[in-house]
Structure 1
Amino acid sequence: MLVAQEQEYLVTQEDWQEVERQTRQNTQPRPKKRAKPKNRVKPIITLLLVFSMACLVVVRYAKISENHQKILEMEANLKKSYSVQDALKVELAEGGDLNNIEKVAKENLGMNYPAKGQIQIVQLPDNKQVSNKNSAGSNANRQHSIKDVFTRIISFLD
């Protein structure tokens, strides 16, 4: 059998220090590269933009919901108004019946048809005659007022 020969390595102090230095350089962690400001700003701006858009959507949805609620309230008020209007129309129709009016006048107000002595006939002038008299009177008043204006102007100048 062969026995391996042991060889002795002669290593000097300087050689050993050089080997240690090389291993330290290889095993030392490399300094991390700092991210460039451009690379930091871009994600932040994107994040802010997304957040602002989300806030805008939420605010607009709240406004739409609020307006929808107002519309529902207005529709309810409109339905109530229509029902009140219908009730008033029915009441008016009941009061507009001539037989009903006569009944209320006789029973509640104590009114009856007039007797023969209570009726008087009055003769009214024709509308044409009345309008002609009014227009003639107004023309005379106009002429009189124009004369008054001119006399006042002349007296003011003197």
Structure 2
Amino acid sequence: MKKNNKIKDLNEYKKKKKNKNKSGKKKTKLKKSRVILIFACAVAVIIGNLCGYAKVSELKYDIYYLKKDLRSKEIIIEQLNSKIYSNNTTEEIEKMAKEKLNMDYPKKSQIEYITVED
């Protein structure tokens, strides 16, 4: 059943119409504010993801160049180790003993033989 909505006065009609318009405007403002809020949240999430990906890319870039630097230093270490091992040949050791320590081969009179019993 329908309500009896008879309007008795012109002023009463205007008041009802104003109230309807005000409540309609409030609803549209509320809907717009919700849409704007959802849009702002979505933009914030997207910007957060982009910043995260940028930071990850920056760290990957740093890791790549640190690994490259580490590899170059490992190569230098290997080269220095090979120089050390190459300097320890018997000729080099003999030369260093003669020059720095004034050593020489023993003479026949300085050699002593030891007999071992079986």
Q: Flag whether TM exceeds 0.5 (same fold).
A: yes
CA distance in 1, matches of 2:99, 2:70: 38
Residue type of the alignment partner of 2:36: I
Paired residue secondary structure (2:39): helix
Query: Which residue number in structure 2 is paired with residue 123 of structure 1?
Result: none
Residue type of the alignment partner of 1:79: R
Paired residue secondary structure (1:67): helix
Q: TM-score, with normalisation over the residues of structure 1?
A: 0.47
Report the number of matched residues: 89
Query: Which residue number in structure 1 is paired with residue 88 of structure 2?
Result: 96
- The within-5 A match list for 1:56-75 is 56-75=48-67
CA distance in 1, matches of 2:104, 2:83: 24
Q: 1:34 aligns with which of 10, 20, 25?
A: 25
Residue type of the alignment partner of 2:25: R
Identity of aligned residues (%): 24
1:114 CA drift (Å): 5.0
Q: 2:74 aligns with which of 66, 82, 90?
A: 82
Give deviations 1:1-55, integer Å, cap 9, x for gaps.
Answer: xxxxxxxxxxxxxxxxxxxxxxxxxxxxxx7941514312320221111111121
Q: TM-score, with normalisation over the residues of structure 2?
A: 0.60
1:108 CA drift (Å): 4.3
- The structure, 1 or 2, with the larger RCO (C-alpha pairs under 8 Å, 6+ apart) is 2
CA distance in 2, matches of 1:108, 1:35: 100
1:106 CA drift (Å): 1.4
Query: Which residue number in structure 1 is paired with residue 9 of structure 2?
Result: none
Paired residue secondary structure (2:25): coil
Correspondence 1:53 to 2:58: no
CA distance in 2, matches of 1:46, 1:83: 56
Paired residue secondary structure (2:79): helix
CA distance in 2, matches of 1:114, 1:43: 101
Residue type of the alignment partner of 2:44: S
Query: Which residue number in structure 2 is paired with residue 151 of structure 1?
Result: none
- Superposition RMSD on alpha carbons, in Å? 2.5
Query: Which residue number in structure 2 is paired with residue 141 of structure 1?
Result: none
Paired residue secondary structure (1:110): coil
Q: 2:98 aligns with which of 90, 106, 110?
A: 106
CA distance in 2, matches of 1:51, 1:99: 75
CA distance in 2, matches of 1:71, 1:79: 12
